C-alpha cells in the first residue's frame, strides 16, 4: 500500500499485549473493516510482546501485508535514549522479527536522544532503506530544530512527527493564536513545530487524543470539564455520532492533515471513532470546542 493512501486514524497497539487472542482478533479486524489501515507499534510496547501478538493475530485473520501500513518506533532504552547507528539497525531487525515481516512501511525515532549524532542516524537510515527493510522514516516528539539537524544529514525525507495533541493539549495551536501577547498561552513550547511540519510536508500524528495533561486522565465524560462535554455532546447529537468521534473529528478538521493515533482496545469504540472521517466540523463548531476547553481568543 502506498503511504499516500494511509487512513487518517491510526490504531495504536501499545496495550494489545494483555488482551485475549479472540479479543485481539476482533479489535484488529474491526479497525480494518472500519477503514483503518495504519497500525502503530514501538519496540518498547509490552517489552516487544505487542508486536509479537499483533503478528500472530494478523496471520490468524489472513490479512494481506500489502493492504496495511505497519509503523514502529525505536530509540527508548532502559534509563536512556539511543539513536546510535548500531542500536537503530539492531532494533529494526528485532522489530521485523517480532512482526514477522520483511519490511516496515514507517520507522519513527522515539523520544529525542540528547547524544544524537545525525551522521549515525543517516548511515542507519540509508542502510535500512537500501536493503528494503524500511520504506519511510519519521520522528516522534521532536521540535523543528531537532528535525532540521537530522534533515541536514539524512538523505531520506522525514515524513512524520508523532506529538501529543488533543482538545485539552493544544500548545501547538495556542502559541500561534496568541502571538505577541503577554499571556500564558503565548508561550511557545514547541518551536512552531506545527507550522514547520506543514511547510515541510511532515504529517503530525496526534497521540493521546483523549487525554488532558500528561496521562492524567480522559476529558470525555469527565465532571471536571462540564462546558467542554456539553459542547461536544451537542455537536455529537447533531451529527449522530459519539463524543469520541467528535473529539477525533476536531483533530482531523485542522488543515495540517493530522493523523489521530487511538489506543483503545474496545472494538466498539474503534468503530464509533472511525466515523470521525465521515463528517467535517464547521469552523464555528471547531472554535466552539476550542473555547469550551477553557481557551480564550485574544
Active site residues: 45
User: Angle formed by the axes of helices 118-130 and 144-153, to 10°?
Assistant: 60
Angle at 68 between CA 242 and CA 194, to 5 degrees: 65
Rounded Cα–Cα distance for residues 253 and 279 (Å): 9
Q: Do residues 44 and 12 touch, judged by C-beta distance below 8 A?
A: no
Amino acid at each position: 500500500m502506498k503511504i499516500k493512501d494511509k487512513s487518517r486514524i491510526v490504531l495504536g497497539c501499545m496495550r494489545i499485549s494483555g488482551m485475549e487472542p479472540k479479543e485481539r482478533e476482533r479489535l484488529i479486524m474491526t479497525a480494518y473493516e472500519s477503514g483503518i489501515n495504519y497500525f502503530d507499534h514501538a519496540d518498547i510496547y509490552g517489552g516487544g510482546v505487542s508486536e509479537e501478538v499483533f503478528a500472530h493475530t494478523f496471520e490468524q485473520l489472513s490479512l494481506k501485508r500489502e493492504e496495511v501500513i505497519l509503523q514502529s518506533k525505536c530509540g527508548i532504552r532502559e534509563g536512556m535514549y539511543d539513536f546510535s547507528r548500531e542500536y537503530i539497525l539492531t532494533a529494526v531487525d528485532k522489530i521485523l522479527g517480532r512482526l514477522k515481516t520483511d519490511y516496515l512501511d514507517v520507522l519513527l525515532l522515539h523520544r529525542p536522544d540528547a547524544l544524537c549524532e545525525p551522521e549515525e542516524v543517516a548511515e542507519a537510515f540509508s542502510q535500512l532503506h537500501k536493503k528494503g527493510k524500511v520504506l519511510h522514516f519519521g520522528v516522534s516528539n521532536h521540535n523543528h530544530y531537532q528535525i532540521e539537524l537530522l534533515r541536514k544529514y539524512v538523505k531520506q525525507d522525514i515524513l512524520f512527527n508523532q506529538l501529543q495533541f488533543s482538545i485539552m493539549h493544544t500548545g501547538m495551536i495556542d502559541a500561534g493564536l496568541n502571538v505577541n501577547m503577554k499571556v500564558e498561552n503565548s508561550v511557545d513550547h514547541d518551536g512552531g513545530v506545527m507550522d514547520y511540519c506543514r511547510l515541510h510536508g511532515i504529517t503530525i500524528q496526534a497521540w493521546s487524543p483523549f487525554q488532558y495533561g500528561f496521562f492524567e486522565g480522559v476529558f470525555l465524560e469527565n465532571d471536571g470539564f462540564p462546558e467542554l462535554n456539553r459542547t461536544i455532546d451537542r455537536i455529537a447529537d447533531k451529527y449522530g455520532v459519539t463524543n469520541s468521534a467528535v473529539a477525533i473529528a476536531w483533530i482531523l478538521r485542522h488543515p495540517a492533515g493530522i493523523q489521530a493515533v487511538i489506543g483503545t482496545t474496545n472494538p466498539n469504540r474503534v468503530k464509533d471513532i472511525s466515523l470521525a472521517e465521515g463528517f467535517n466540523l464547521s469552523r464555528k463548531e471547531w472554535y466552539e470546542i476550542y473555547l469550551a476547553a477553557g481557551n480564550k481568543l485574544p
